[in-house]
Each structure stands twice: as structure tokens, then as C-alpha cells.
Structure 1
Amino acid sequence: MNVLVYNGPGVSPDSVKHTVITLRRLLEPFYAVSTVNAKVLQTEPWAGKTSALVFPGGADLPYTKECAAVMPQIKKFVSKQGGSFIGFCAGGYFATDRVEFALGDPMLEVVGKRELKFFPGAGRGPAFHGFKYNSEAGAHAARLRLPNGEEFKTYYNGGCVFADAEKYDNVEVLAHYSEPLDVPFTEGSSKLGAAVVLCQVGKGRALLTGPHPEYVPQLLQRRHDHDYNSSIVDALMEHESARLKFMKDILTKLGLHCNNDFADRAAPSLTPLMVVALNNPEPLKKLEQNLKESDAKYENGVTILEGETDTFRIYNSFDQYDKASAELLDQEPDDVAKSILIASANDPCPSSKFTPNFDIQKYFQHLNAQTSVGSLLMYGEIITSSSALLNNNKKLLSLFPDTSMLHIGTIQVSGRGRGGNVWVNPKGVSASTACVNLPLSSPKTGRPTSIVFVQYLAMLAYCKAILGYAPGFEDIPVRIKWPNDLYAMKPDYYRDKNIRLTGKGLEGNKIPLNDIEPAFAKTSGLLVNTSFYNNSYSLLLGCGLNVSHDGPTTSLNSWVRILNQEREMFHMPLLPLVEVEKLQALYMNNLDFILKEFLDYGADRMLPEYYKLWLHTDQIVTLTDHQNTRAKLVGITKDYGLLIAKELISGTNTQFTGNIYHLQPDGNTFDIFKGLISKKVT
């Protein structure tokens, strides 16, 4: 299930960052925490796969404007569908019946009714004087008192008190401010002001806070804010364990399932990136030559390359690992200069102690000697984003020889997806980006290269790598969702339907087309970034695949274990668990071959294989922008890769009217074929 964090107009970027980091720390692997904007909430069917919708800190007025069209959906999600809403600070104001902010202050005053009304009273603030937008001037280490009498301090900056919270039957106060407040919060009572409340709203619940218990003290180093007060961070650090426990307790009370090892899940430091080429030294030589001819500077034994968004400190030997690693320790991943170590003739491969989660030699053992893409490996144990690092730093990318480099990380701390989503890829999710260059036209046929097909072919290559991993892997129930996602059957569906796969795979188990959504779950997705460079196409094929990490869907190795249970019953040899190194090498081998075939023969050569492995043969779709016309999918156009759908005669699933439509997605990432844009062509 998803936990979606709103990231749009009004949101403080810092608040999004703290919210995402804390929620991932507490909720993984049981939920996928990602960011969304108002358009996604309005156009995509998110509610059915979402446990909680989160609005972080910032300014509440822009929320009301940007999200006006989706208010009914949010209210329905909570009250009718039993979903959860979380509002931190501005998100808390946003979910009250009435906002009363800085009354009487002509520069700050915001007063008015709100539509969500999850808290039936007023959100009144700032609870403490001194607030300034985009400043630490009003920041405070607020002391909170819990119902059991315990107290701890957490970050506060402009949040509200929930006025008269005790008088509402559907409201439970989870924490009070234990200090005197600068705004009235109740009438005729000496009670403490409500800082955190849990509201029962129909079938669902809303967790609202005035302060920021989601804020991570270690990330509060505001070097450029002259109002920054280091003593606040010092005070918060003393209460860090209590903050995390409180967050776990209130999320659990909301109904979310938290992990038990959150205390050990601090944000990791980056590790150096290591560049290796064991099968063919030529790409490495070309890289070194390109680096010498670049505008990189050489200082004190280190080559320094200033990229567009990142600085790179480049070393020529793996014996500099300890020095390079020390430069990254305890530094902010997105801000620190990245360390790169390049193999040398005397030191061709790093020690396995530097790469405990990836056997580089094993990768090259399974990579065909004639395979070009992936022949140059850049690996890091902990990286920012394999895709964004290269896409945002074309100066670095241009140093690598064409169609040679594969960037792999075991853990991504700033992963990027479609729609700008950001997440942490944990261990067990293989994150990689292959760098591919294609000519404008085929050298063999002269036909223009339709690069839209590369996304299809890349996922076809990954699917073939999985199904051909070893004898018996053809039974693993993975299929391609158009255009470029990999789906695996849900184990629960497999058990509920009493399906047997061994020896038959999905070919012997036809899944009803109307069961595609409940039967399958996404286990991998592809993000393609395309640019034009040196009169050719430069493509970055970023992919994250669940190899052994089961949250929140399923993994390849889960299916290996399930199939092995079947195989034991029939006294068959057991399947080996998937090794990331071998799988990535097989992916590169297949991708290299498929792309060469595509250039020489076009899409015709590869589409039959793609159709064999996709989910949508004869799938019936409803075209909502054409009076809910029903149509059957019959293939993909060979020019722009659009879906071809034939209109069905009313009341039949096999007879056609003669009308044909071409379909394309509108950015949908949640459901299969909802929100398609269609164009009638005949």
C-alpha cells in the first residue's frame, strides 16, 4: 500500500524532506512512501491503493487553492473508504473547521473556514510568538506532555493549538503543549493546549499536529539562516529517541503498521562510486582520455569535476577508498561532493570488503564479452539516484564512452520516479541505470530510429533475463504492463485461486482480463530520460527491481520460494535464489542484443516477443473520452508505439464496428488503463 505525501504549491521543501525521511524510517517495508501533486490526486485512482494521505508543513492557503478540486475525493477517502489523513503543522491547520492564524497582524493574519473539517474546531496559532515565513526566527523546542504524564521536546515553528479539543466526542488528544501559549485555546479552563489530536472521521481517521514531531534534528543545520539557533537542535537531540517512539505510537494509533527496527534506520552516508571494466579495458581507457581532455582540475592527487548540479572528486586507484569514504561520512547526500574511484591496470577491481552487497567479479563473469552496454560498471553501495545523478550532470555523463556504462547502487537515498516522486530504495531493490546511445537512423536500413520503443525493449530485456535466469524460471509469473512496468502475480491471488505454476507457468494459467488488477502487483518500473548529444540520442534507462525486498508488494525471490514449495511436492530440483549480479548481467546481455536487432530490423522483429510477455492481449478497455466506447486492444503502432484498440459492437466482445483508436497514457502510475487518452483514426 502507498503513503502519499503532498508536494505542491504551499509546501515547504524542508517539511517534505523531513516528512518523507521519518515516514520511510518508520513505515518501510510495509508501505511505499512517495510524493504526489494535486494533479495526481485529481486524475489518478490513488485511493484504492493508499493507506494514508499526508500534508506536510508550509502554508495552508495555497493548499486550499491548489487542492480545491480534489477536496471531495480526500473527504471520501477518509470518511467513506476508511483511509487515514495526516497533517503536520500547515497540514494540521488545513484539516480543521476554521483557521485563525496571527489574528490582528496585518502582515500574517489568515482567517477563514476550511473544507475538510476533520477537526471540528479551530486551529489557532501561532501557539508561540515570533513566527516568520521561511525563517528560524520563530523556531522553538516545544515541550509536549503525553497522556501518561511523560514529556519530551520536538521542533516547532508556527503551528497551531487545537482549540477546545476536549469537548469534541470524535477527538482524542495525543499530546498537549506543557508550556504557556501565546494564543487562547479554551474558555474558562486551566487545561493545557492540545498539540496533537486524533480525529475519528466516518470510517477513517485524521492525525493532526501543531508542532513538527516528524522533523529530524540532525537535518536542521540551517547554515544560511541568520536566525538559526543551534541550541534548539542540541535540545532536540537529547529527546530524539522519545520523538521517534512518539511518532511510532501515534502512527500505530492511526492504524498504520510500523517496523520494529526504526531506531537503527538513520539516514545512511553515501559511499564512493567505483568504476570497473574487467572484460574489456577499452571503455576504461576511453573514459580516462575523456577525463584528461575535459575541464576537470587536478588538485593534491584528486581530479575535481564540476558537474551541473554536483561536484565529483575522482581518484585513480581503489587504495584511496578510505580517504574518499571519509569525505562522505555524515554529510548530506544531495549536497556533498561525490567520490569516484576509477580502476587502474595495477588495481583492476576493488576489494570485496568495499562492496559487501555486490560481487563485481561475478557480474563480469556472467556478462558476455561481446556485450557493449554494461561493459563499464559504476557501482556504489549507497548512492543518491542512479538516474538523477547522470541526468543532472551531463558533463559527467559525456565522459563515458557511448553505450557502455551501467550505474548500480544497492541503496538509493534519493530515488526518482515518474511525476517527480522521490523515495529511498532499500537493500533488496536493485537500482540501476543503463546508458544507451542510438543513431538518428538505422545504419543498415536508413529508417529513422523510433526511440519510443526503447522503453518497451528495455523491459522486454529485463523480463527475458528473469525468465531465462536458470531452468525452471520460466514458471515465475512476471509480465509486462504497457508500456514499461514489470508486474508479478500477487502471492495471495496465487493461493486463493489454488494455482499451480510448475511446468506450466502463466501459459497454462490464463488469468481473466478483468482480474489483471487484483492478480498482479508492480515489482519494477522503468524511467527513461532522453537527450540529444553529438547528433545522436542519449538515453538513460533507470530501473528499480524488487529482487528480495517484499514490502510493499512481492519480490522475485519470494516467487522462487513459492515455486520451490511446488517443486518439492513433485520431487524436482529446487531453483536457486536470484543473485543481483547475475541478473543485471543477463539484463545487459539481453538489452544489448535486442537493441542491435531493433536498429537493424525495426520494431517488427521484437514486437511478437513483447506481445507474448505483456498483460494485455485482447484486453477490453473503456474509452471515457468517446462516450464510454468499449474497445479491444490488438497491438502497438509501429511508428509512435501507441496502443491500437478496435471498437466493439455493443453487447459483444468479439465483433468490431470498424472504428480504430490509438491510445496513449496521461501519466497514470497507479492503475492499469485508467485515464487513457484516445484518438480515433478510422
Structure 2
Amino acid sequence: MLLTVCYAYLTFTAASRAARRKMKILNLVRQYALTSGLSFKSGKPEYLCHLTQEISASVFWEETPASQKYTEVVLWREDDNRMTIIEPKPKVDLDEWTSFIGSARPLTPTTRVRSGQVLLLLEATLPDREDDGKGDTCEELLLSQSVSLTRLSEPLAWRSGDPYGLLVSTDVEGLGALGLAFMDSKLKLDDGMEAVQMISVDTSGSSQDLLLLYARKLKSPGQNNSGDNDKDFGGSTFRLELPKLRRGSTEVEGQVLGGETPKVRSVQDSGQAEDGSVQGTEDTMSGEFDEQDSPEMLTKLQAKPPNILVYTGSKDTQTERSKFDQVKEVLEQCLGPDHYIIYRLKHDQVLSHPWADNTSLLVAVTQEELEDSVNQKLESFVEDGGRLLSFCSHFNMGLDVQPLPFLSAELGVHSMVYRPLQGSATELKVYVTGLCYTPRLRAHQGSTAFKVVGSMKSGNQPVILHAYAGYKGGRAILSQVHLEMSPTEDEVKGAEMFTQLKKSNPQRYQVLQDILTTLGMTCSRGTQTTLTPSHLLVVEDALQDAVVQAISSHLDERNVLRGNKVSLLFVDDSEVTPATPEELPVLIGGAAESFNCQVYQDNLKTRTLGQVVLYTEVIPTTMTVLDRLSSCVPEDTGLIAIAHRQTSGQGRGGNVWLSPLGCAMFTLHVRIPLQSELGHRLPFIQHIMSLAVVESVRTLPSYQDLDLRLKWPNDIYYGDSMKLGGVIVNSSIMGNNCCAFIGCGFNVSNSNPTICINDLVKQHNKLHDTDLPEFTTEELIARAVTTMEDLVQEFQDNGSDNFLQRYYSRWLHSEQKVHLSSEAGPQATILGLDDSGFLSVVKDGGEIVSVQPDGNTFDMLRNLITIKT
């Protein structure tokens, strides 16, 4: 009995000591990994009595100036292994290094390490040992407990020699797991190599592309091939030339999970394995190559396939399929384009298919109780180094959940605070499940450590956890709030709930992208967009000849119409040249793939405005392309420039106007006689255009209840909370006319990350059980231009009274109390628009003041009119 008690005590003491040691090392890694040269070393130290010592640079480090020495400070020491920090942080010159084939991020002087990522240099050698046949059992046992470098990092570059150099990318937690494995002699490298040191570093220079190196070699057949680049290294030969050259590709081969998986052309030989695993296909270039000389490390350090699996539960009904589509859509909007393939992991595949080794991320999104076997499979996946994201599922890594105490029987929208591992906290509205993790959450449970990253604002109950599992760097994000749910989903009931979630939609995507990045995914960073030529489209065929003839008389010898900022180069199909910000090729007529001219024509009911369209797929801005063209065409010709996408859209006061796909974006040219009702009140032009956009929707039968409103001076709003669009006007005087170029942009069909008009249509259909069709950009642009012409004509015929009556019925500010200039400034009450089109307010003392739109803006949240900055 006494022996049993002693054994239990010793076991408990050893486990406690191991847990304290692990946390101490992990905390040191988190403290120093991103700022210093954090090093793990093996071998007898050169000094034993001092914790701080000057050291010489490694063979891979850049030398420091003579006045500055590398200093090493010991943080932790165990037998011959130690953990240190080295200052200054070592830097590696990559000019003599070689990139791994297929590396997602070539290393150049301009390469930026992703936030939270660490560049880790490993120095490795082959162990000095003789194969005497002894110790096989111990070696197999050690191998079964080993931690693989390739599971926790991305290989970037290598350099042959003794020691062999390897540069990888990992994150702070991955470095912690690798460091623990190093200290415990459990770190596994390929080819039987052993790491003698690993250290976090910075880099300079550029690593070399192996394919390009060999391509250059082919161009110099007379060059000596037996230089210093060959190194006989324990039976493995590493060369800077690639003896058998193969090109990369991305095709699809083999069946995995009942669907298609990407076929990867790599340095492997052609052919498909019998087990259906992904194999490569070889494409050789001309020349004599020796296949046996290819670097073995290039084929063995492979990253996981870019597969993301979504598990929706044990059923296979339309509900589960719709849930998969919902999650797939939100993931595709957050992740980098063309980076991942998203599959549904069906219930019968969880235990029967070998999916774990081919999965970069598993997403669990089911609220049904999980079978024990399924739960154990998911836990094993994470503990073996996998990454998992749980959206309100019962996969909780052994934790208990409990009801949120403040929640009524009706689930709904509540405020939460998300605190990322790096960066500032974000507050947002979320749809909750009604559950939270136990507030008495322990920092550790078994081999898993937890960190609260999301909690309810009112009671601080934990609802999003970051779990670190096992030695192998496994991670899981567990969420009890519906981050995957769009505000337009059926579960969202009522206009108030919809509005709250829509307001927080940008923050929801920000949180989702941070979570996915934390789990090692590559999220969207935007791509360079290529400018495209324009099409000159004339709605009425009878008008085309007159327009073309008028333009032709102003062209130079190159058929260029010179403009102030943008010149138009008129070409035919065979002469199209690349578009630039300064010169835009224009084709007369032709089909524009992304613009439905027929829909535009069917909805345009004008006499003049918008009859001649300059349509461009991608353009910096439509505001600069009509100035010269407007002076060439007949006065009764209405020009409009329309864009599918703008790269440098212009807002009021020089601000940038975001121009995502799905927005109506155009510049309308309007001539206003100076001696007219509107000519005497030109500031009204922007108000007329803003009202025209709102009326283009709300005057349609059955659409009158869509809550589109006007915010002074130039914004189009949903209710009083979310901006949908805006108007900007540039004008000049030409003779007896004012030439106004009215820039307008409003969101028709792009739901994310904010709101669009079609969201309001969907919400109306859901609340009122209707089936109203959604809008297209062509339809609403044409209707807005038509309404603009009608409103201008009404203003010219009847003055401002009728217009103001319609305008006030849509705007947000009647008798609103505001402060002028600052929150401590004088209080006033909004009266409306004065005779000139300026905002009229009356101060508390009775003084009436007019506020011009140029240079001022209205802060809805603070009821404040301030100078626009």
C-alpha cells in the first residue's frame, strides 16, 4: 500500500514538474520569439559559469560591425541543451541560398513576414554513429513520440554544407512546440539529420530559384559543372543545379472524399499510387539529365495539400447541405483567392477515410451531439498537429459549456469583445447560441492549453477559445457565437436584428480573418488589377454617326483625343493596346462582357442624359474621362462613364471611394443653363442626384417600403445607420452653361462586408413573404439617370418647392438637434435647405445660419456638423 501511494505521489510530482517546465518554456518563447534571436542549442556550452557571454557569428549569420558583438543570454538550461536569446537578432544573407520548389513565398529583400510569423534557421548534421543493429527498439519508440518539423513549419530555403542550413517559417506557438521537442530530443528532420541549433532570424538578400539556376546552366554548356557547389554529405548529394527539371502545375487527379482533389505536378515521378494518394506528373525539358542526382530534401519537405474540410453532422439533408454552402461562401470571402479547395466531409467519411494527413483545416459546424468515435477522431486530429475551427459545435476539447445567464428564451444578437493574440480588441454584435464556456476555465486541461480570445461584453463570459494541443503544434479555435452566419440568413428575425448584424459585418470579417490567420491559413490581401480598354456605346442607333463624326474632327494623327488627365485613344479590335492611367484605348461599339447593354437600354427613358455610354471594365476612376469628350459631342448628347470596377474611386474632399464589384459606379455629364432656375441654385445638383438614386428604387411598385434615405450633404443610407452610396460633383462654366460631372456610386449587390440594396430586397421578402426580384447595376443606373432627368426638368419648370417636398420625405434630418463645429459648439436645429441649396439651421438664440456642403460633413452618431477632414 505504501509503495502504491509513493508511486502515485512521484507520478503526480513528475507530471506537475513537466507541466510547469512546459509553460515556462512556452512563455519564454512567446516573450522573445518576435523581437530577439531566440535560440535552442545542443552540445557542451563553451561557458558554464556565466549566463551572459559574447559569442562569434554562426557560419550562416551576417557579421556585425567591429564595434558591435553578438551577446548571448541563457534563459533555460537542461544537461547539454539550452535556450538562449542572442542580441542583436542574427540576420541571414540569402544570396547563396536556394528556394524550395513550390515555396508559396519566394524570399526577396521586399518579402514581408506575415504578422505573428517567425523565420527559423536550423543548423543540422548527420549523426556520427555506426549501424551495429542495436537500439532499434529504442529508436522506434523515440520515432513514435517524435515531432515532425514539416507538420509545424513551411520550408522556404536551404543551403548545403556542413552544417546543413534550413530556413522555415512558423508562428510563435509552432516555435514553442519545436523548441520543446528540441529540448526533449524529439525533433524529427528528414534524411535522419539532427538539428544542433535553431534560432529565430531576420533575412537579407534573395534566395535563388533552382529552376532558373538550372535554366541558366543549360545556356552555358561549356561551363565547368564540377565546382564548389557539390558537397558530399554523408551519402546525400546536394547540388545548386537540378539534374532533372520539372515544371509546377495544378491539375486534379485521384479520388479523395468522394470528390476531386488537386493533382500536384512536383519533383516526384509520374503515376498514381494504388491508395489514391496525390502523385505528381513529370514534364521534362530537353537535355541530358541524371534523375538520381536530384536533391532528396526537395521532395521530402512537402506542405499539406490545400484542402479545407467542413463537417456539418451526421445527416445529409438540405439543411446540412445549405450549412456547408454557407460556410464555404464565408471562407472563400476571407481566404486568399486560388489558395484552397473546400470540401464537405460527410459523416460516413470521418472514420473510414484517411483525410487527416491531407487536410490543412477542418471546420466543424453542427449543433448535434457528436458520437464518441467522431469526437475522438477530431481530438486526435488536433493532437497530431491538425488545425480545427468549431462554429457552435459540440466539439469542445473536453470542456463544459453552460447557458449564458442573461439570455432570454429567445436567442438573439448581443455584444461581444474579441481580443486577438496580437493587436487591439474589437467589439461587435454577434448571433449567440445561448451557451458559453465555463467561466472557471483552467489554463490547462490534460495536454491542452486554453486562452480566451472572445467574451460577452455584459458579463465577460468566454465564448471563443484558442486551444493549443499536444507536442505537435495542434490548434483549435472553439466558438459559441455564429461568426459563420450572414445577417441575411433565415435565423435572423426582424429589421433591428438585421441592422445590428449588418453594422458589425466588417468587424465579423476582421475577426474571421484573424482566426483563420491564427490557424495558419492565408487570407485575402487584395490583388493587382489590370486596367482595361473602354467601349463607346450609343443607345440610339440614329445618334451614333453624329457622335462618331463629331469626335473624329478632334482627334490627332494617332486618333487620340487629348484630355487634361486622361487621353482617349480610339482604336479598332486589331489595334487595342494596353490601358494606362494616362491613356485609355476606346473601341466604338462591340460587346462588353460585364455590361448588359440591353437591360440598360430597356430601363433608360431619357431624352438626353445617359444616351452615350463610355463603359470600362477596370478603370482608375470615371471622374476624369469625360472632360474633353464632353466638349466634342453635340450639346444635346448626354454622356455617361460607367465602370465595373474602379481602382482609385474619388469621394468628396479628395477621399478615396471604395469600389467593389456589385456597385453601380458612374459619372454623368449634365449641362445646366446658367440663366435658369437650377442655374441660379447650382448646389442643388448633388441633392437632386442623391434623391434620384433613392427614388429609382422606392418609386417602383412594391419597393416603396425599402428604407433608403438621404443624409446631408451627399450620402445614400439604409435607415439612419449604414451608408450605401454617395455623390460628388465637379463643375465648370463653359459659355452660358454649367458643365457638371456628377460622380455617383452605390452598392447594388455586394453584401460583404457591409450592405447593399439587394440585402434590403431579401430582407423585405423574408419579413413580408414576398418574392420581389433583385436589382442589377445596369437597371438601377438607367433608372437613376432617368429619374435625374425628370427631377431636373421639374426643378427648371417649377422651382424648388416640389423638389424639396420629395427630398424631405426621404431625408434623415428634419428638426434634428445638432452642434456646430464641435461637441462644445453652439447647438442648433436643422430647418432644411435654403434657397441656394445649403443647409439651413437655427441656433438656440434664434440666429439662422447657412452651412455649405463643401468642406463640411455631418456626424450621425454625435449629431455634429464639422469641417470635413
- Report the counterpart of residue 206 of structure 1 in structure 2: none
Question: Residue type matched to 1:374 in 2?
Answer: G
Deviation at 1:304, TM superposition (A): 2.6
Separation (CA, whole Å) in 1 of partners of 2:96 and 2:744: 41
Separation (CA, whole Å) in 1 of partners of 2:96 and 2:839: 56
- Work out whether residues 819 and 864 of structure 2, in 8 Å CA contact, stay in contact via their aligned partners in 1: no
Separation (CA, whole Å) in 2 of partners of 1:638 and 1:673: 27
Separation (CA, whole Å) in 2 of partners of 1:414 and 1:124: 42
Deviations 1:391-421 (A, max 9, x none): xxx3334224446011112222232223434
Deviation at 1:426, TM superposition (A): 2.6
Bigger proportion of residues as helix: 1
Deviation at 1:621, TM superposition (A): 0.9
Deviations 1:528-551 (A, max 9, x none): 112223342111111111111012
- Report the counterpart of residue 310 of structure 1 in structure 2: 566
- Report the counterpart of residue 407 of structure 1 in structure 2: 641
* Residues 423 and 637 of structure 1, relative CA distance in 2, 3 Å threshold: closer
Deviations 1:126-183 (A, max 9, x none): 9799xxxxxxxxx9999999xxxx9943443699x99xxxxxxxxx952237599xxx
Q: Secondary structure at the match of 2:828?
A: strand
- Report the counterpart of residue 267 of structure 1 in structure 2: 528
Q: Secondary structure at the match of 1:425?
A: coil
Q: Secondary structure at the match of 1:156?
A: coil
- Work out whether residues 690 and 714 of structure 2, in 8 Å CA contact, stay in contact via their aligned partners in 1: yes
Separation (CA, whole Å) in 2 of partners of 1:124 and 1:543: 54
Deviation at 1:525, TM superposition (A): 0.9
1:632 and 2:829 aligned: yes
Mark the structure with the bigger radius of gyration: 2
- Report the counterpart of residue 276 of structure 1 in structure 2: 537
- Report the counterpart of residue 434 of structure 1 in structure 2: 668
- Work out whether residues 143 and 154 of structure 1, in 8 Å CA contact, stay in contact via their aligned partners in 2: no
Separation (CA, whole Å) in 2 of partners of 1:675 and 1:126: 53
Match of 2:554 among 294, 297, 312: 294
- Report the counterpart of residue 646 of structure 1 in structure 2: 842
Separation (CA, whole Å) in 2 of partners of 1:192 and 1:522: 51
Deviation at 1:667, TM superposition (A): 4.5
Separation (CA, whole Å) in 1 of partners of 2:107 and 2:644: 33
Deviation at 1:192, TM superposition (A): 12
- Report the counterpart of residue 386 of structure 1 in structure 2: 622
* Residues 410 and 625 of structure 1, relative CA distance in 2, 3 Å threshold: closer
- Work out whether residues 143 and 152 of structure 1, in 8 Å CA contact, stay in contact via their aligned partners in 2: no
Q: Secondary structure at the match of 1:281?
A: helix
- Work out whether residues 429 and 546 of structure 1, in 8 Å CA contact, stay in contact via their aligned partners in 2: yes
Match of 1:174 among 117, 130, 140: 117
Deviation at 1:324, TM superposition (A): 5.4
Deviation at 1:464, TM superposition (A): 0.7
Separation (CA, whole Å) in 1 of partners of 2:744 and 2:649: 10
Deviation at 1:673, TM superposition (A): 6.5
Q: Secondary structure at the match of 2:730?
A: strand
Separation (CA, whole Å) in 2 of partners of 1:669 and 1:177: 51
Deviation at 1:211, TM superposition (A): 8.7
Separation (CA, whole Å) in 1 of partners of 2:707 and 2:96: 52
Match of 1:153 among 106, 109, 116: 106
- Report the counterpart of residue 618 of structure 1 in structure 2: 815
Match of 1:536 among 734, 737, 748: 737
Separation (CA, whole Å) in 2 of partners of 1:440 and 1:397: 17
1:562 and 2:763 aligned: yes
Separation (CA, whole Å) in 1 of partners of 2:747 and 2:795: 27
Q: Secondary structure at the match of 2:550?
A: helix
Separation (CA, whole Å) in 1 of partners of 2:108 and 2:858: 35
- Work out whether residues 642 and 664 of structure 1, in 8 Å CA contact, stay in contact via their aligned partners in 2: yes
Match of 2:718 among 468, 477, 488: 488
* Residues 311 and 388 of structure 1, relative CA distance in 2, 3 Å threshold: closer
- Report the counterpart of residue 339 of structure 1 in structure 2: 585
Kindly report which structure 2 residues correspond to 1:92-491, keeping only aligned pairs within 5 A, or say none.
Answer: 152-156=105-109, 174-176=117-119, 256-258=511-513, 266-279=527-540, 281-282=542-543, 284-298=544-558, 303-315=559-571, 320-321=572-573, 323=574, 327-328=577-578, 333-334=580-581, 337-343=583-589, 350=590, 354-368=591-605, 370-390=606-626, 394-402=627-635, 404-422=638-656, 425-442=659-676, 448-468=679-699, 470-489=700-719
Q: Which shifted more, 150-159 or 530-539? A: 150-159
Deviations 1:240-268 (A, max 9, x none): x99979x999x997565449996796434
- Work out whether residues 142 and 211 of structure 1, in 8 Å CA contact, stay in contact via their aligned partners in 2: no
Separation (CA, whole Å) in 2 of partners of 1:612 and 1:461: 13
Deviation at 1:668, TM superposition (A): 3.8
Deviations 1:455-487 (A, max 9, x none): 00111111110112x311101111001111100
- Work out whether residues 157 and 211 of structure 1, in 8 Å CA contact, stay in contact via their aligned partners in 2: no
- Report the counterpart of residue 663 of structure 1 in structure 2: 851
- Work out whether residues 563 and 625 of structure 2, in 8 Å CA contact, stay in contact via their aligned partners in 1: no
Separation (CA, whole Å) in 1 of partners of 2:817 and 2:618: 43
Question: Residue type matched to 2:561 in 1?
Answer: L
Q: Which shifted more, 253-262 or 623-632? A: 253-262
Separation (CA, whole Å) in 1 of partners of 2:811 and 2:664: 22
Question: Residue type matched to 1:661 in 2?
Answer: V
* Residues 670 and 623 of structure 1, relative CA distance in 2, 3 Å threshold: closer
Q: Secondary structure at the match of 2:696?
A: helix
Deviation at 1:560, TM superposition (A): 0.9
* Residues 605 and 264 of structure 1, relative CA distance in 2, 3 Å threshold: same
Deviations 1:297-349 (A, max 9, x none): 24xxxx2333333343213xxxx44x355x33xx6x535x3221224xxxxxx
Aligned length: 426
- Report the counterpart of residue 583 of structure 1 in structure 2: 780
* Residues 277 and 153 of structure 1, relative CA distance in 2, 3 Å threshold: closer
- Report the counterpart of residue 450 of structure 2 in structure 1: none
- Work out whether residues 532 and 538 of structure 1, in 8 Å CA contact, stay in contact via their aligned partners in 2: yes
- Work out whether residues 679 and 738 of structure 2, in 8 Å CA contact, stay in contact via their aligned partners in 1: no
- Report the counterpart of residue 865 of structure 2 in structure 1: 676
Question: Residue type matched to 2:560 in 1?
Answer: I
- Work out whether residues 530 and 537 of structure 1, in 8 Å CA contact, stay in contact via their aligned partners in 2: yes
Deviation at 1:269, TM superposition (A): 2.9
Q: Runs of 5+ in structure 2 lacking a partner? A: 1-63, 66-86, 124-164, 173-200, 205-246, 250-302, 307-334, 341-359, 361-418, 423-509
* Residues 644 and 210 of structure 1, relative CA distance in 2, 3 Å threshold: farther
* Residues 262 and 618 of structure 1, relative CA distance in 2, 3 Å threshold: same
Separation (CA, whole Å) in 2 of partners of 1:638 and 1:672: 28
Separation (CA, whole Å) in 2 of partners of 1:478 and 1:436: 24
Deviations 1:361-404 (A, max 9, x none): 22112212x521111122223333212333xxx33342244460
Deviation at 1:602, TM superposition (A): 3.1
Question: Residue type matched to 1:522 in 2?
Answer: K
Structure 2-normalised TM-score? 0.42
* Residues 419 and 264 of structure 1, relative CA distance in 2, 3 Å threshold: closer
- Work out whether residues 291 and 399 of structure 1, in 8 Å CA contact, stay in contact via their aligned partners in 2: yes
Q: Secondary structure at the match of 1:431?
A: strand
Q: What percentage of residue pairs aligned between the two structures are identical?
A: 24
Separation (CA, whole Å) in 2 of partners of 1:141 and 1:454: 64
* Residues 624 and 431 of structure 1, relative CA distance in 2, 3 Å threshold: closer
- Work out whether residues 388 and 416 of structure 1, in 8 Å CA contact, stay in contact via their aligned partners in 2: no
